[in-house]
Amino acid sequence: MKKIRPLYDRVLIERVAEDNTTAGGIVIPPSAQEKAQEGLVVAVGTGRINDDGSQTPLQVKEGDKVFFGKYSGTEVDDSHLIIREEEILGIVE
């Protein structure tokens, strides 16, 4: 993958691979799997620019595991996407 540095309040996320086998042992083919809504923060922007020109730092940081909406962000490739911090639903602790 290319080296990408998100701008402002955007975050680069790598999707976490989901298990492709059911509890009963049935293997789900890639074409039938939904994309993960959980990922690892790879890179963060510098922060949100406020109306007065000041900058607010982001709450997430590199290495955080996060949940995000199903249709959030812009796909970079099969496993990475760029989303705004406000589209992140929560941080897994």
Encode pLDDT of 45-64 as tens digits: 999 888 998 989 999 999 99
Read off the CATH number of the domain in which 65 is found.
Answer: 2.30.33.40
8-30 mean pLDDT:
78
SS3 state of residue 91: strand
pLDDT of residue 75 exceeding 80, the answer is yes
7-23 mean pLDDT:
82
Indicate the pLDDT class of residue 26, thresholds 50, 70 and 90.
Answer: confident
Structural domain total, the chain: 1
User: In Å, what is the CA distance from 57 to each residue of 10, 63, 85, 87?
Assistant: 11, 16, 10, 16
Residue 78 lies in a domain: yes
Tokens 């989901």 — which residue? Answer: 18
Residue 25 lies in a domain: no
12-19 mean pLDDT:
82
Indicate the pLDDT class of residue 40, thresholds 50, 70 and 90.
Answer: very high
DSSP 82: E
Residue 26 lies in a domain: no
Residue 78 and residue 75: Cα distance in Å, rounded? 7
Indicate the pLDDT class of residue 43, thresholds 50, 70 and 90.
Answer: very high
Helices in the chain by DSSP H: which ranges?
none
Using an 8 Å Cβ cutoff, are 29 and 35 in contact? no
pLDDT of residue 42: 93
- Average pLDDT across the chain, whole number: 85
